[in-house]
């Protein structure tokens, strides 16, 4: 159905990957993984024809229809929501437009009507008469209310646009489905529906995702891009992780046996090379020794930052009490109403819901950056909270180096004793966060989104606090940094609150779940599996 034959992508200053050969088969879900910058998204664009490969070719069944998840939320702002979904089958949509144009033309000729008749027939063969119903069924399954099916895309919220674009990609069961980060900004219920949909999907699915839990649920194969090569593993993400580690261990054991064999041969040669009766054996051993090759074992190019949050003091019994918080914005819209909860030590709460602004406003109220319309926030007297914002641009407005930027934040008590040697210490600290050597002199204003997030994490680790609040901390991070942050939060010896759409993070870190809705909130004490069971997902 889809063959990748010797594909390479090489730029003048960098080779992304070379000589990739993969045969994609129907009924399989292929997850593409690799560190940021290895070319995962570029590979998808080569498959879709958006980017041309330097070498090799893509062989696709002539009649196979490929659908690609669009990343541009504003591309279809002037179109009707249902129409956007039907656009997922471009040929069907164009046929419908053409025949309707003929019927609406008062000057249409008999030839035009004959053409329309032919189009009607083809439209029916392609399932066109059910297209609107099929599109709206997808919208309903993805959580888009019926009242929004026939409005313009520009009237939708950002997270709703994401769902419509996903419905567009899924519409009509394409032969080849290509998706880059399909779970971005999807709520838990929708992600669960998408997992079930893809697990039963009969055709080819190719997906890039940083959500390891999602990849575990859907993937039959993993394609790992590392050192410009692509290796195919049969199994899901967890199986890849185990088998890739097992492969390295097997290579290490094989090399050890070779080294032991080589040492014995060397000892024999050294002992008997001058012995006339043993010279032939010594010569034979030399030939055997020459054939022994110790295989080079490349460690993965993946790099993990060291993320560990220390406490400036142990928290007392009272951590955080929130009573009847309500917030009404400047336009008079109620973002949330009567939100109440209390947290004990080591309780880690995730805030979920479809409205990103509502969740951000709640966290801003908790940290004191914004006042509620009504309600109370009461912190324990021993608690010093700190905050990771979803939008960090205000922290990088000045033109300064990374080392100067990190050095200007006040150090916590736990790091105060090394302040006399702050420059050397900061360079060592930044090295653990993957800013090594001369990269510490890079201007913060030209750093990437992922680098800015790692700098904000560094700031958080250095400052004085014993309660952490994270608003969408995984945005722009690669899988390795996500894994490190998850481990950092799991090992954190206090309470925290965070927002995320990443199921793996919620599953690993949260033991309290707060769902925010416009007129109500739902508080659940338990982990993700228990929550989904209680909600019937």
Whole domain around residue 527: which residue ranges? 320-400+448-535
Note the helical H segments in 55-89: 81-86
In a domain? residue 34: yes
Distance in angstroms (rounded) separating the CA atoms of residues 395 and 417: 26
Assess whether pLDDT exceeds 90 at residue 421.
Answer: no
Are 236 and 261 found together in one domain? no
Distance CA 232, CA 373 (A): 54
Q: What does the alpha-carbon distance between residue 111 and residue 513 come to, in Å, rounded to a whole number?
A: 63
The predicted pLDDT at position 420 comes to 43
Asked if residue 329 lies in contact with residue 493, where contact means CB atoms within 8 angstroms, the answer is no
- Could you give the CA distance from residue 4 to residue 326 in angstroms, rounded to a whole number? 55
pLDDT at 236: 93
* SS3 category, 324: strand
Statement: residue 417 has pLDDT above 80? no
Q: Is the pTM value of this prediction over 0.75? A: yes
pLDDT over threshold 90, residue 161 = yes
* Paired sense of beta strands 512-516 and 521-525, if any: antiparallel
Residue 359 sits in the same domain as residue 473: yes
CA–CA dist 241, 227 (Å, integer): 17
pLDDT, tens digit, 9 for 90 and up, residues 341-391:
999 999 999 999 989 999 999 999 999 999 999 999 999 999 999 999 999
Query: Is position 438 within any domain?
Result: no
Angstrom distance (rounded) from CA 292 to CA 110: 81
Tens digit of each residue's pLDDT (9 = 90 or more) over 211-225: 999 999 999 999 999
Give yes or no: residues 286 and 233 share one domain.
no
Question: Do 71 and 218 fall within a single domain?
Answer: yes
> d(Cα 195, Cα 142) in Å, to the nearest integer?
12
Q: Are residues 173 and 252 in the same domain?
A: no
3-state secondary structure 27-62: CCEEEEECCCCCCHHHHHHHHHCCCCCCEEEEEECC
Judgement on whether residues 54 and 151 belong to the same structural domain of the protein: yes
| pLDDT recorded at residue 303 | 87
Q: Shortest CA distance to 481 belongs to which of 462, 463, 458, 465?
A: 458
Asked whether residue 497 is domain-assigned, the answer is yes
Is-contact 400 444, C-beta < 8 A? yes
CATH of the domain at 395: 3.40.50.300
- Domain identity same for 227 and 259: no
Catalogue the E-assigned strands of 61-161: 66-68
**DSSP class per residue in 246-306:** HHHHHHHHHHHHHHHHHHHHHHHHHHHTT-GGGHHHHHHHHHHHHH--PPP-PPPS-----
Q: Which of 304, 305, 300, 303 has the alpha carbon at shortest distance from 231?
A: 300
Q: Among 180, 206, 240, where does a domain finish? A: 240
- Residue 505 forms part of a structural domain: yes
pLDDT, mean of residues 56-76 = 92
Pick the range with the lowest mean pLDDT from 172-186, 270-284, 495-509: 270-284
Q: Are residues 80 and 169 in the same domain?
A: yes
User: Residues 375, 329: one domain?
Assistant: yes
> 202 with 264, same domain?
no
Measured in degrees and rounded to the nearest 5, phi and psi for residue 8 equal -135, 150
**Confidence check: pLDDT of 447 > 70:** yes
Question: Residue 299 falls within a domain, yes or no?
Answer: no
Residue 348 three-state SS: strand
Confidence of residue 299 (pLDDT cuts 50, 70, 90): low
Contacts of 285 (CB under 8 A, 6+ apart): 265, 268, 269
pLDDT at 413 over 70: no
- Counting residues of the chain whose pLDDT is more than 70, the rounded percentage is 96
What dihedral angle (degrees, nearest 10) is formed by the CA atoms of 339, 342, 346, 352? -10
Please tell me the predicted confidence (pLDDT) of residue 297: 66
- Tokens 């805030």 belong to which residue? 351
pLDDT of 381? 95
Residue 297 covered by a domain: no
Q: What is the total count of domains within the chain?
A: 3
Residues 95, 115 share a domain: yes
Mean per-residue pLDDT, 95-123: 88
Q: Give the per-residue pLDDT at 285.
A: 77
Q: Sheet of 14-24: strands edge to edge?
A: 14-24, 2-11, 55-60
Q: What is the pLDDT of residue 468?
A: 98
Mean residue pLDDT across the chain: 90
Q: State both tokens at 432.
A: 């653990």
Is residue 228 domain-shared with residue 251, that is, in the same domain? no
* 531 domain residue, yes or no: yes
In a domain, 27, yes or no: yes
């Amino acid at each position: 159905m889809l063959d990748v034959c010797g594909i390479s992508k090489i730029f003048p200053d960098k080779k992304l990957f070379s000589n990739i050969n993969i045969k994609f088969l129907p009924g399989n879900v292929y997850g593409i993984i690799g560190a940021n910058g290895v070319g995962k998204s570029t590979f998808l664009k080569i498959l879709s024809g958006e980017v041309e490969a330097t070498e090799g070719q893509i062989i696709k069944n002539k009649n196979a229809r490929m659908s690609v998840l669009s990343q541009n939320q504003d591309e279809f702002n002037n179109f009707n929501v249902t129409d956007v979904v039907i656009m997922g089958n471009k040929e069907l949509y164009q046929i419908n437009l053409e025949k309707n144009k003929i019927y609406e033309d008062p000057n249409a000729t008999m030839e035009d009507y004959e053409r329309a008749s032919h189009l009607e027939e083809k439209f029916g063969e392609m399932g066109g008469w059910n297209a609107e119903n099929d599109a709206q069924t997808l919208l309903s399954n993805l959580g888009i209310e019926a009242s929004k099916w026939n409005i313009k895309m520009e009237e939708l919220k950002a997270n709703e646009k994401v769902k419509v674009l996903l419905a567009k990609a899924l519409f009509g069961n394409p032969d080849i489905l290509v998706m880059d980060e399909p779970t971005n900004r999807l709520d838990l219920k929708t992600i669960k529906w998408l997992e079930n949909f893809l697990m039963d999907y009969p055709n080819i699915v190719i997906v890039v995702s940083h959500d390891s839990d999602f990849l575990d649920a859907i993937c039959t194969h993993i394609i790992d891009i590392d050192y410009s090569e692509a290796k195919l593993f049969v199994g899901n993400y967890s199986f890849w992780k185990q088998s890739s580690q097992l492969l390295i261990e097997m290579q290490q054991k094989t090399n050890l046996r070779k080294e032991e064999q080589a040492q014995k041969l060397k000892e024999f040669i050294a002992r008997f090379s001058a012995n006339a009766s043993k010279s032939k054996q010594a010569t034979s051993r030399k030939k055997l020794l020459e054939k022994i090759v110790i295989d080079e074992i490349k460690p993965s190019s993946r790099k993990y930052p060291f993320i560990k949050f220390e406490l400036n003091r142990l928290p007392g019994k009272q951590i955080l009490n929130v009573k009847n918080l309500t917030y009404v914005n400047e336009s008079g819209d109620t973002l949330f109403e009567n939100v109440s909860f209390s947290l004990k030590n080591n309780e880690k709460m995730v805030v979920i819901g479809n409205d990103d602004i509502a969740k951000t406003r709640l966290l801003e109220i908790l940290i004191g950056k914004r006042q509620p319309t009504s309600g109370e926030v009461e912190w324990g007297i021993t608690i010093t909270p700190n905050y990771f914002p979803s939008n960090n641009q205000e922290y990088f407005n000045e033109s300064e180096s990374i080392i100067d930027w990190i050095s200007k934040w006040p150090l916590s008590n736990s790091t105060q004793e090394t302040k006399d040697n702050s420059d050397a210490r900061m360079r060592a600290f930044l090295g653990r966060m993957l800013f090594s050597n001369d990269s510490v002199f890079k201007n913060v204003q030209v750093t990437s989104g992922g680098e800015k997030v790692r700098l904000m994490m560094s700031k958080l680790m250095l400052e004085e606090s014993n309660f952490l609040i994270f608003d969408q901390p995984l945005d722009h991070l690669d899988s390795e940094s996500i894994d490190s942050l998850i481990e950092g939060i799991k090992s954190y010896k206090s309470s925290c609150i965070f927002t995320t759409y990443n199921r793996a993070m919620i599953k690993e870190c949260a033991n309290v779940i707060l769902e925010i809705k416009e007129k109500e909130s739902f508080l659940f004490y338990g982990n993700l599996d228990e929550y989904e069971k209680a909600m019937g997902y």
